[in-house]
Amino acid sequence: MKVAIIGAGPAGMTAGYELAKKIKEVDVYEAGPAVGGMAKTIDLWNQKIDIGPHRFFSNDTRINKLWLEVAGDDFEMVDRLTRIYYNKRFFHYPIKAFDALKNLGVFTAAGCVMSYGLEKLSPTKDTSTFEGWVTNRFGKKLYSIFFKTYTEKLWGIPCNVLDADFAAQRIKKFSLGEAMKTAIFGNSGKHKTLVDQFAYPHEGTGMVYERMASFVKKQGGNVFLKTPIKRVLTKDNKAYAIELEDGTIKEYDHIISSMPLSLMVSRLPEVPENIKKAANSLKFRNTIIVYLNVQAKDLFPDNWLYVHSADLRMGRLTNFRNWVPQVNGTEQSTICALEYWCYDEDDFWNWSDEKLIELGKEELRKTGLIGDAKISEGFVYKIHRCYPVYATGYKDTLVPVENYLKTVENLHVIGRYGSFKYNNQDHSILMGMLAAENILENKNHNLWNINTDYEDYQEASVITKTGLQKK
């Protein structure tokens, strides 16, 4: 059996790793110069850093076992501290009711409580949008302070035209009422996505996927870097080959794709025009990361900060000094990563590196977080099409595309890009695992369901420094 995998991110590389245990002819094609996708690790200024903050966490024993199988003992447990930075104040995330109300001041806090009370008396009826969903759970005032600004920075569209799916995936059942109960009575069941600790590899998140790639090659497979795929070829609704950018055609028994869904579908030779049109209307958001080398340590204790202040263009700020010491080596500086988001058509996407670095320096100074520490160097990293945009009604566009792809035999669509889902690492790893099972064991896992209502674990556990701990 011969299998081609398009994309070497967490989903694609996991599929390759699992397939390589049973078959030799596994070919992974990656457009970029390294494996890992958005979860890759790069070397910068004698330190190892990720493409923004990437922590791994799962409650699913299958995923955790696989991660430990690859990482071995080469990881540490990191105490998570992520806070909201708003008007030069820090707020715990997830929101802690008394902390938030104390930091906001008496009058603003009273307004938040009153707003929440009014919401309970007369709830927002339309919860199909992000604005409606969050307002219903926190009240209008807290929504406007803690959710609106950051979310609109991230997506570039008003919250009242952003689908509630984003909130349902990221905030789930959390509410101000729950926060207040937690503050008074303690937390009996912590939110799955907001754990206090997470496992982090000694050589950065990308270490796991680099090891998977090495295993594939050791088993006789191939990992082709800087090798973009032009399109998947089909005949009589069956995927049978891939075409490289130079026109080379290679035939396979199965093809796993994690390339952006809109690109992959629009280039299929037999795709109906209405499906092509629907796929092309799905939008992705771009990321620009400005890395700054600050000549100081112990700047602030957070792994990363969500920047909600409207006077700052950045949306998230990562401090790579606060992960594991192994990534810093012998360096005494701190690498800070400032994240900005935009669309292809935005002028900001075409700014020069010099201009972006100057903006980053100005904004980092403005936060007051680095004092008068010297910023010695800057580096810009741009990621095209990295966040699938959940615009209101996006499912009406996506579902026909999904249904069409289900009819194409031997084509398996996975990953954040490939399935147009706002996946965490664990979702993408599971997609890769189950895609491999569908091929090797003729299983019939519905890959589209992953990260839709992902709470039904066959067996629940968490990773600790001593191994798996059952929940």
Instruction: Name the residue ranges covered by the structural domains of the chain.
Output: 2-73+203-282+393-451, 97-184
Examine residue 301 and say whether the peptide bond preceding it is cis (omega within 30 degrees of 0): no
Query: Which residues, 6 or more positions from 66, have their beta carbon under 8 angstroms from its beta carbon?
Result: 14, 18, 429, 433
Q: What angle do CA 252, 253, 256 make, to 5 degrees?
A: 80
In whole angstroms, give the CA distance from residue 376 to residue 381: 17
Pairing of the two strands 304-307 and 316-319: antiparallel
d(CA 134, CA 174): 10
224-262 residues labelled b (16+ CB within 10 A) or e (exposed): eeebebebbbbeeeebbbbbeeeeeeeebebbbbbbbbb
Q: What is the DSSP string of 173-199?
A: T--HHHHHHHHHH--SS--GGG-SEEE
Q: Quote the DSSP letter at residue 277.
A: H
User: Looking at residue 98, what is its pLDDT?
Assistant: 76
Cα distances (Å, whole numbers) of residue 380 to 33, 54, 135, 293, 318? 16, 18, 36, 12, 14
CA–CA gap between residue 196 and residue 360 (Å, rounded): 29
pLDDT of residue 174: 58
- Cα 230 to Cα 97, 339, 412, distances in angstroms: 51, 30, 17
Shortest CA distance to 5 belongs to which of 260, 257, 264?
A: 257
pLDDT for the residue 188: 46
Backbone angles phi, psi at 196, to 5 degrees: -85, -15
pLDDT of the residue at 84: 92
Question: Is the CB of residue 212 less than 8 Å from the CB of residue 17?
Answer: yes
DSSP secondary structure code for residue 147 in this structure? I
Query: What is the residue type of 241?
Result: A
Q: Which CATH superfamily is domain 2-73+203-282+393-451 in?
A: FAD/NAD(P)-binding domain (3.50.50.60)
Contact criterion met (CB below 8 Å) for 356 and 336: no
Question: Within 10 Å of residue 329's Cβ, how many Cβ atoms?
Answer: 12
- Inter-residue contact 16 to 5 (CB < 8 Å): yes
Task: Name the residue with tokens 């093809």.
Answer: 255
Q: What is the pLDDT of residue 295?
A: 98
Residues 6+ apart with CB under 8 A from 310: 149
| pLDDT per residue rounded down to tens, the chain (471 residues) | 999 999 999 999 999 999 999 999 999 999 999 999 999 999 999 999 999 999 999 989 999 999 999 999 999 999 999 999 988 899 887 777 778 778 888 898 899 889 999 999 999 999 999 999 999 988 999 899 888 999 999 999 999 999 988 887 666 555 556 655 554 445 544 544 456 899 999 999 999 999 999 999 999 999 999 999 999 999 999 999 999 999 999 999 999 999 999 999 999 999 999 999 999 999 999 999 999 999 999 999 999 999 999 999 999 999 999 999 999 999 999 999 999 999 999 999 999 999 999 999 999 999 999 999 999 999 999 999 989 999 998 999 999 999 999 999 999 999 999 999 988 999 999 999 999 999 999 999 999 988 665 455 567 888 998 888 887
pTM (two decimals) = 0.92
Q: What is the DSSP string of 347-394?
A: GGGG--HHHHHHHHHHHHHHHTSSTT--EEEEEEEEEEEEEE--BTTH
